[in-house]
Amino acid sequence: MAEPTATISSTPRASQQANAIMREKNGVYSFMGDANIRRNIEYYVYVFSTYPEELRIERPTAHPSYVIPGCAKDEPYSKPLKIPDIIQYPAQIAGSSEITTRGIDGRFVAQDLLNPDNASGDWRTQRPMNAANMSNEGTNLYALGVWWTLNEKPKDDEVAAARGKMEATFNDLIDRANALHMAGDLNSIREITRQMRIAATYFSIETPWNKTHGSTKECHGCGTMNSARAVVCSKCPATFNWEKAMELGLRTIKQAVAAGVMESPEKSSQERSGKD
């Protein structure tokens, strides 16, 4: 007698039944990958900046991008970019198409963001680097007043060192822009970068290559073109906004009375007394 045989159909219904039996026998399996992912964060690495504008660094292997906020004009430093003590980076298993994760020290990640050519160290050990020896020229963000620290609130010496490096860089950029402008040819002018203009604006320097343009209005008295926000004319006694001009001390009540834009306080007082 032939031995009985049985096969399980490959229909979707049969597959569901087979999977249900396996779950019942073996329990539910949950793949967690690197168990290090589940650990609690022990501390953060803080990246601060004195640079006036936001900086964005792309790291597509781990995150779409890291954003370092810009430093507001009246603030000593920016809001921080917070990096956990360990960042999980994807890593391919050798000889396999499978991907796992690998924990990277948050301090290393911060240093790599600020200066990939110097994988160790921090703002204290950072030194100027010769561009000829750099494979990532332009990515030394220490030169732009950016640094990382474990302090949630940076110390005064950290901020002073960062701002000092940024201002040294800005002075160099302004000198280079002046030289390009002095060359006079169109190609040289085109080499004046936006960062050079940011540097000049930071020091409130207005040059032929960094002018601030704004809307203007013509004075009804002398025809001089003034800023659209001006309250008085820069050349003649004409006044565009008497209330604001008196508030700022640019015009007096006596001048306003003489111009007929308000009554004399004494006259108004006498009229009120007569009514009483």
For the chain, list residues with pLDDT below 50: 1, 3-9, 27-32
Reported as a single tens digit per residue, the pLDDT across 40-73 is 889 999 999 999 999 998 876 666 689 999 999 8
DSSP secondary structure letter of residue 45:
E
Cα 207 → chain centroid: 25
**Alpha carbons 9 and 87: distance in angstroms, whole number:** 46
Token pair in block for residue 163: 């701002």
Biggest CA pair distance of the chain: 133
Reported as a single tens digit per residue, the pLDDT across 173-213 is 999 999 999 998 888 989 999 999 999 999 999 888 987 77
**Alpha carbons 214 and 259: distance in angstroms, whole number:** 29
Q: What pLDDT does residue 117 have?
A: 82
| DSSP code per residue over 56-89 | EEEETTTEEEEEEPPPPTTSSSPPPEEEESEEEE
